[in-house]
Amino acid sequence: MIGHGFMGAAHSQGWRVAPRFFDLPLDPAMQVVVGRDPGRTAEAAATWGWLEAATDWREVIRRDDIDLIDIVTPGDTHAEIAIAALRAGKHVLCEKPLANTVAEAEAMAAAAEDAARAGVRSMVGFTYRRVPATTFARRLVAEGRIGEVRQVRAEYLQDWLADENAPLTWRLNKDIAGSGSLGDIGAHAVDLTEFITGQTVDRVSGILETLVAERPVMAEGVGLSGTAGAERGAVTVDDLALFTGRLSGGALASFEATRFRTGRKNALRIEISGSRGALAFDLERMNELEFYDATLPESEQGFRRIFVTEPSHPYADRWWPTGHMLGYEHGFSHQVVDLVTAIAERTDPAPSFADGLHVQRVLDAVERSSAADGAWQTTR
């Protein structure tokens, strides 16, 4: 695993726990974690249960005993690492967004396609696809239970920047993070829309906005929880993204990604309206899926709160009895299960780097539209 921040903790938990609850066809070992700072990396290895710590990812990629590289670094480093790993014949799991630019993502997708011909697998980490409720939603759409998709509303609402004195972290620096709310959380809204509907976002019109232009600069290297000083620096990414997309099936989808929706902490929500029904999901109540069946008698129609914890629900039978909730981290175990299964079965896992590239193109088109007074842009 390359990197060891918040995402490193989540990925480590996935690797550690998945084999305990699922019958994996292979037996993954948590071998080595890589970071720049030797001390902090060693500490991460101890905390998260990796056997070794290393500081040079290139060296790790060359090792024969390493079969899979899990990339959890910031987006600006994804391309270089992933391409090198794929060329070295290692399977790659890369945290989203795939890259910070379309050009990088294109190079990565091309490398993944080359590698796939040699049986090397790659996958991008949109774990919200693997919440039982969202996987089940996709199944219901595929089975025609909501009919033809007519409209989508997808939003990812947070509020951790609502405080204008929240510090200037790397996530607010365009050079490192690529974009702000758009790439960090809007990407999830786009991917989830495409995953559940089985369609792609083909054209977009939108606007990006930075609500607080300057924030306190942090003492170097301090990270998220550091004390900020009096100096203020420029926020170079968006705080809010509002855009409309045209799906490949013809329907319009309305998107919002924001870190300023006061009181909303992690509300990735999607509602899909179809000719025969509708589905609604909210990550803040991730064990529930609301389903409206418009084919029932008029007097009996209503949004139905399905508690997605039954043995017949995706992934759910391997965990706890009905009614016992799963949390944020379980998607990372499911990701491990699906990736390891694909490797063992010699199939290509989803979402692929090509899928990740497509999301990147959607984000890029939104940026272009915002710069072009809202004019519609294609994502191809």
Considering only residues 17 to 36 of the shown chain, the ones binding its own copies according to CB under 8 A are 17, 20
Instruction: Pick the stretch among 16-24, 35-43, 55-63, 171-179 that binds its own copies (CB under 8 A).
Output: 16-24
Is residue 143 close enough to count as binding its own copies by CB under 8 A?
no
Gap between the Cα atoms of 72 and 355, Å rounded: 18
Site string for its own copies, 198-237 (x = CB under 8 A): -------xxx-x-x--------------------------
Query: Minimum Å distance from CB 322 to its own copies?
Result: 5
Q: Is 378 in the site for its own copies (CB under 8 A)?
A: no
- The radius of gyration of the chain's CA atoms, rounded to the nearest angstrom, is 21
Residue for token pair 């919200």: 128
SS (H, E, C) 35-79: CCCHHHHHHHHHHHCCCEEECCHHHHHHCCCCCEEEECCCHHHHH
The only residue of 230, 263, 346, 380 in contact with its own copies, by rule CB under 8 A: 263
Show contacts with its own copies in window 273-302 (CB under 8 A).
273-278, 283-287, 290-292, 294, 297-302
The tokens for 126 are 């949109």
Nearer of residues 110 and 162 to its own copies, judged by Cβ: 162
Backbone angles phi, psi at 259, to 5 degrees: -115, 20
* Shortest distance, position 378 Cβ to its own copies, whole Å: 12
Residue 42 or 110: the one with the smaller Cβ distance to its own copies is 42
Which residue, 62 or 139, has its beta carbon nearer to its own copies? 139
CB of 170 to its own copies, least distance (A): 15
Check if the beta carbon of residue 48 is closer than 8 Å to that of residue 35.
no
Q: Which two tokens stand for residue 306?
A: 């399905």
Out of 325, 341, 348, 350, the only residue in the binding site for its own copies (CB under 8 A) is 325
The contacts of residue 137 (CB under 8 Å, 6+ apart) are 196, 270, 272, 279, 281, 289
Closest separation between CB of residue 98 and its own copies, Å?
A: 22
| Residues paired with 152 in a beta bridge | 253, 272
Residue 96 in contact with its own copies, rule: CB under 8 A? no
Q: Which of residues 32-61 bind its own copies (CB under 8 A)?
A: 47-49
- Answer for the pair 88, 58: CB distance below 8 angstroms, yes or no: no
Q: Is the dihedral of CA 242, 244, 248, 251 positive or negative?
A: positive
CB distance 293 to 307 below 8 Å: no
Q: Which is nearer to its own copies, 65 or 373 (CB)?
A: 373
Q: Which of residues 144-183 bind its own copies (CB under 8 A)?
A: 146, 150-151, 153, 158-160, 162, 164
Which residue's CB is nearer to its own copies, number 87 or number 285?
A: 285
